[in-house]
Amino acid sequence: MATRWGICSAGKISHDFTVALKTLPAEDHQVVAVAARRLENAQEFAKKHSISRAYGSYEELARDPDIDVVYIGVIHPYHLSTCLLFTNAKKSVLCEKPLAMNSKEVKEILASAKSNNVFLMEAVWTRFFPVSVEIRRLLAQNEVGEVKMVRSEFGAPLMHVPRATEKELGGGAMLDIGIYCLQFICMVYNGEKPECIQAAGVCMETGVDETVVVTLKFSQNRMAVFTCSSGMQLPNDAIVVGTKGTIRVPAHMWCPTSLEVNGKKTEYPVPEPYLPLNFLNSTGMRYEAEEVRQCLLKGLKESAVMSHADSLLLAEVEDEIRRQVGVIYPQDCQ
């Protein structure tokens, strides 16, 4: 029986996620309904993607009895209220990253999912790409020895994008794209909390971070460093340095399709889309969607690959980084 999806928000990322679902077998994944704040937008989205139901409010989607799981593609200042809407309606949720604006909100979302006994996962899609699966296998089998250093960076010129620069839209490099660097490091170090966090950054006039450089120290003198920026293009690679070799994601570390292990490169292409995409390699969202299906089939309430503890760790480290850089959102004062 197909996993029946509801799509919350008719924006660009929801478009790409729906296109990604179409690369999976129709007998496994079916989009039943889409909701937007304006009915016309939902209807247009539904027509484009051949979806039978369109709603002009998120509440209508929450009341739909034929939905197994809701994909939330709203901007992150609205993640808390939207997640709570669906978890309280006993709907399972796949919510775009970051799960919330801070760790306090993340805890509230996780508590709601637990009390309502529903599945919930933060959509850190990178973790489910074949490249990431292979990295975890290599690390588990000690292929590069003891990991001593992880470096990652993600930078792109996004100053023309309001949601990247405006505080009320959740702007700032750390929450938008820095999360990819941080999650990579946390994945390599198997969810361990860093012993020391040192961050420095440059903030915009809007009060959000443009560029941030972070150094993390873990137990046994293992280190990590990452840079994120919404003001400049960076190489956007990642490297894991071990005592016996290196693992490198040579490009597009947030949606990786190639991997170098001790200099030997292997390609892992994603499927071609049936409609034009808004973001690079977005059909790779199929992997997180399939993870959701497998978890639901097993009756699980969270994924072992992107667990609730993983989401809370990311949020807590992000909170500390923002504190050191001096970025305070309205949600931090509530």
CATH class of 3-125: alpha beta
d(CA 57, CA 78): 14
d(CA 16, CA 30): 15
The pLDDT value recorded for residue 233 is 98
The mean predicted confidence, pLDDT, of the chain is: 98
Does the pLDDT of residue 310 top 90, yes or no?
Answer: yes
The pLDDT value recorded for residue 157 is 98
The pLDDT value recorded for residue 122 is 98
Does the pLDDT of residue 210 top 90, yes or no?
Answer: yes
Mean pLDDT of 147-168: 97
Calculate what percentage of the chain has a pLDDT beyond 90.
100
The pLDDT value recorded for residue 80 is 98
Mean pLDDT of 237-265: 98
Domain boundaries, the chain: 3-125, 126-266+307-333
Does the pLDDT of residue 126 top 90, yes or no?
Answer: yes
Does the pLDDT of residue 17 top 90, yes or no?
Answer: yes
SS (H, E, C) the chain: CCEEEEEECCCHHHHHHHHHHCCCCCCCEEEEEEECCCHHHHHHHHHHHCCCEEECCHHHHHHCCCCCEEEECCCHHHHHHHHHHHHHCCCEEEEECCCCCCHHHHHHHHHHHHHCCCCEEEECHHHHCHHHHHHHHHHHCCCCCCEEEEEEEEECCCCCCHHHHCHHHCCCHHHHHHHHHHHHHHHHCCCCCCCEEEEEEEECCCCCEEEEEEEEEEHHHEEEEEEEECCCCCCCCEEEEECCEEEEECCCCCCCCEEEECCEEEECCCCCCCCCCCCCCHHHHHHHHHHHHHHHHCCCCCCCCCCHHHHHHHHHHHHHHHHHHCCCCHHHHC
Mean pLDDT of 134-150: 98
The pLDDT value recorded for residue 225 is 98
Q: What CATH number has the domain spanning 126-266+307-333? A: 3.30.360.10
Mean pLDDT of 119-147: 98
Does the pLDDT of residue 334 top 90, yes or no?
Answer: no
Does the pLDDT of residue 158 top 90, yes or no?
Answer: yes
Q: For the whole prediction, is pTM greater than 0.95?
A: yes
Residue 85: pLDDT band with limits 50, 70, 90: very high
Asked if residue 91 lies in contact with residue 6, where contact means CB atoms within 8 angstroms, the answer is yes
